[in-house]
Amino acid sequence: MNKPGFQNTEKGCAETLAPRPTGHRVIRGYLKTLDNVPGVYRMLDVRGDVLYVGKARALRKRVSNYARLTGHTARIGRMISATASMKFLTTNTETEALLLEQNLIKQLKPKYNVLLRDDKSFPYIFISTEHEFPRIEKHRGAKTRKGRYYGPFASAAAVNRTLNTLQKVFLLRSCTDREVEAGDRPCLHYHLKRCAGPCGGRISVADYARLVKQANNFLCGRTTAVQARLASEMQEAAEAMEFERAAGLRDRIKALTAVQSTQGINPQGVREADVFALHMESGQACVQVFFIRANQNWGNREYYPRLGGVENAAEVLRAFVGQFYAGREPPRMLILSTELGERNLMSEALSVKAGRKVRILVPQRGEKAELVAGALRNAHESLARKMAESATQAKLLKGLAAAFSLPAPPDRIEVYDNSHIQGAHAVGVMIVSGPEGYLKSSYRKFNIRNEELAPGDDFGMMKEMLKRRFSRLLKEDPGRTGDAWPGLVLIDGGAGQVSAAAETMEDLGVSDVPVIGVAKGTDRHAGKEEFYRPGSLRPFALRFNDPVLYFVQCLRDEAHRFAIGTHRAKRAKAQFANPLDEVPGVGAVRKRALLLHFGSAKAVSRAALDDLTSVNGVSAALARKIYNHFHEKG
């Protein structure tokens, strides 16, 4: 958030060889230089890691509370005791401070803040306005293209389900612009009655525009008018004895009814809102978010924020909502299950962000209260399932520690695998699991760089992966005090792979991380897996019906899935690689212009400098860069 008026007044303690002081005395030392102005403060430990980010209407007054010796909760007391330095950023208003606070929390992920852990972008439905036959498609990311965006939807599955039905109802195309421009034959979707056939010249621009208008009306909530129009057209077709067209319209009406039924509750009095319901239990929390757009329920998603020791529901919800909209545009209304800490301030901050009024409500009765009740019920059920899964996971980790003679149940398990076809497009992957299941944000891909490896050298690939992974760990956390170090490394392979892994880690000086190899075993049969330890050629096995065995199988299968998917993506990308991709400054738009002008990348590589400058969008400097790229090699 780049707001005018932010002043960087960072202050910190210099590093010394002696142990750095921490606690109240350190915090009290900053009071002399602080004013009672709005701003954001950061509390850091002796290593410089951020413990907590907070905002204040008056910085000096807020920080003085931490300087007191008594009156703190256990969580705040621990945080103060660990504080070795502080940093400050002043702002013009408290609203700016709130917006900056949430951005910093999202960026720094402090230990004692409530933290929104799943922060994926939401998908939208997009209808382009750049073509006379607009295409309907799924969109995720920045809204840079010209067209209409509908959403957000809670998940890709919700978008795909809606798109699938909308194609049946409104017959909008999903084929490429090139297919439409060719106009020689209709695509397969036309024959499946999922497209009006602009790619085969089966519909006029005016008739297609009417279909686009109907789709827009539906996605904007005017569903009754759309259904009435389709019903009228069906009646007219039946009266004209055009029974095939009438049957097609009937099927479209049925599909429209089906998509409405999958949306569940469609509130009449709430046109645009996000519904937040928080349920807390046993130090854990679940927030259910329902997306209401155009009086339609466009899905829901549950979140399990890290509480950082916070037990106050209002504080948890304030932190969650602030981070939720740190990178998203808020709707016109937020409907909450419980009171939000500093509700008016949050409403003002979100209004500033959106450039329009954003209301925050905690309804007590009526349709909005019913929406909240439904979301709260889902939050309660989701957290119950999550806690049951966590208990099962904890039991499995305990069993894993016993089976592999580990000193304690591992908080982090890393599983390594690689994938290739006779050495081509080789990739390695690492997946991560812990007490809360798979940590997909920690997954890693490794493009195998060593060109001296023989094709299919699995041992060499494993060595390269582990060398890169643990070299980086040693550089980032040499004291091994963070949570990025694994408590167990699982290798997909037998004695050879384990030996290669152990040798690599020993060369790096990492000898205290347990390594276990998982091999398919006799006849490569699931359930007969063999396990290998470094330095031993003799495998050991687990009981056939042991839950730990099934747990390890699931970890290995997840690594397989990720490795194969990564390999396929790399192979597909290589198939469509273009020499122009290697030219600096040539993006997708200019590449398209060059290919349309010359016909192929080979023709571009042979083009004269004057010919390159004649291409629309290619400057003289870029033309020279392209020409040099193809003529100065070797």
Q: What is the pLDDT of residue 405?
A: 92
Residue 1 pLDDT? 42
d(CA 105, CA 112): 10
- Structural domains in the chain? 7-108 (3.40.1440.10), 124-262 (no CATH), 272-384 (3.30.420.340), 413-574 (3.30.420.340), 579-631 (1.10.150.20)
Q: Within 10 Å of residue 344's Cβ, how many Cβ atoms? A: 9
Residue 538 pLDDT greater than 80, yes or no: yes
The mean pLDDT value of the chain amounts to 84
Query: Do 137 and 160 meet the contact criterion of CB atoms below 8 Å apart?
Result: no
- Length of the chain, please? 634
Mean pLDDT for the stretch of residues 65-75:
89
pLDDT band at 152 (very low <50, low <70, confident <90, very high): confident
Q: Which residues contact 621 (CB under 8 A, 6 or more apart)?
A: none
3-state SS assignment for residue 118: coil
Is 90 exceeded by the pLDDT of residue 299? no
Alpha helices in 364-515 (DSSP H): 367-403, 458-476, 495-507
- The 10s digit of each residue's pLDDT in 76-109 is 999 999 999 999 999 999 999 999 999 899 889 8
In sequence order, what DSSP letters do the residues of 182-206 get, joined into one string?
H-SS--HHHHTTSS--GGGT-S-HH
Q: By mean pLDDT, which of 118-132, 225-239, 362-376, 615-629 is the weakest?
A: 225-239
- Residue 128's SS3 state is strand
The token duo for 166 is 């909308």
Rounded to an integer, what distance in angstroms lies between the CA atom of residue 467 and that of residue 472?
A: 8
Percent of the chain surpassing pLDDT 70:
89
Write the secondary structure of 79-95 as one string of H (helix), E (strand) and C (coil): HHHHCCEEEEEECCCHH
Least confident window among 21-25, 68-72, 115-119, 602-606 = 115-119
Closest to 341 measured CA to CA, from 362, 319, 325, 361: 319
State residue 97's pLDDT score: 93
Pair 419, 563: CB distance under 8 Å: yes
Residue 3 or 99, more confident: 99
- Determine the pLDDT at residue 195: 85
Q: 215: pLDDT confidence band, cut at 50, 70 and 90?
A: confident
| pLDDT of residue 194 exceeding 60 | yes
Highest mean pLDDT: which range of 118-122, 135-139, 303-307 = 303-307
| CB distance 74 to 101 below 8 Å | no
pLDDT at residue 330 above 50? yes
pLDDT surpassing 90 at residue 311? no
* pLDDT grade for 18, boundaries at 50, 70 and 90: low
Sign of CA pseudo-dihedral 358, 363, 365, 371: positive
Count of alpha carbons within 13 angstroms of residue 550, beta-carbon side: 7
Going by C-beta distance under 8 Å and a sequence separation of 6 or more, which residues neighbour residue 210? none
**What's the whole-number mean pLDDT along residues 65-80?**
90
Strand-pairing partners, residue 287, are: 278, 303
- Quick one: pLDDT at residue 248? 67
Is the confidence at residue 601, as pLDDT, over 70? yes
Reported as a pLDDT band with limits 50, 70 and 90, residue 265 is low
Amino acid sitting at position 207: D
pTM of the predicted structure, to 2 decimals: 0.70
**Residue 103 CB partners (closer than 8 Å, separation 6+):** 1, 326
Residue appearing with tokens 């009006």: 196
- Range in 18-27, 251-260, 362-371 with the lowest mean pLDDT: 251-260
Judged by average pLDDT, the poorest of 299-303, 578-582, 600-604 is: 578-582
Where would I find the H helices in 221-296? 223-239, 243-262
Measure the CA–CA gap between 552 and 292, rounded to whole angstroms: 41
Instruction: State yes or no: cis peptide before 21, omega within 30 of 0.
Output: no
Please tell me the predicted confidence (pLDDT) of residue 3. 45
**pLDDT of 572:** 76
Which range among 153-167, 482-496, 566-580 has the greatest average pLDDT? 482-496
* Closest residue by Cα to residue 138 from 159, 168, 109: 159
DSSP of 591-620, one letter per residue?
Answer: HHHHHHHHSSHHHHHH--HHHHHTSTT--H
Contact criterion met (CB below 8 Å) for 270 and 368: yes
Of the ranges 17-26, 46-55, 216-225, which is most confident?
A: 46-55
Residue 102 burial (CB count, 10 A): 29
pLDDT for res 468: 92
pLDDT band at 153 (very low <50, low <70, confident <90, very high): confident
Report the pLDDT value the prediction gives residue 372, as an integer from 0 to 100.
93
Cα radius of gyration rounded to whole Å, the chain:
30
So what's the pLDDT on residue 131? Answer: 81
Is the pLDDT score of 12 beyond 50?
Answer: no
Higher pLDDT, 355 or 185: 355
Helix (H) or strand (E) holding 622: helix 620-631
Query: What percentage of the chain exceeds 90 in pLDDT?
Result: 35
pLDDT at 289 over 80: yes
| pLDDT surpasses 50 at 272 | yes
Confidence class for position 535, pLDDT limits 50, 70, 90 = confident
Window from 56-70, 211-225, 264-278, 562-576 with minimum mean pLDDT: 211-225
Overall average pLDDT of the 13-18 stretch: 46
Task: With beta carbons less than 8 A apart as the criterion, state whether 279 and 383 touch.
Answer: yes
Rounded to 10 degrees, the C-alpha dihedral 543/544/547/553 comes to 110
What are the residues whose beta carbons fall under 8 Å from the beta carbon of 430, sequence distance 6 or more?
414, 415, 416, 443, 444, 446, 465, 469
Name which of 416, 474, 473 is nearest 448 in CA terms. Answer: 416
Confidence of residue 537 (pLDDT cuts 50, 70, 90): confident
- Kindly state the average pLDDT of the residues 611-626: 86
Q: Which residue has the higher pLDDT, 214 or 497?
A: 497
Q: How many CB atoms lie within 10 A of CB 76?
A: 15
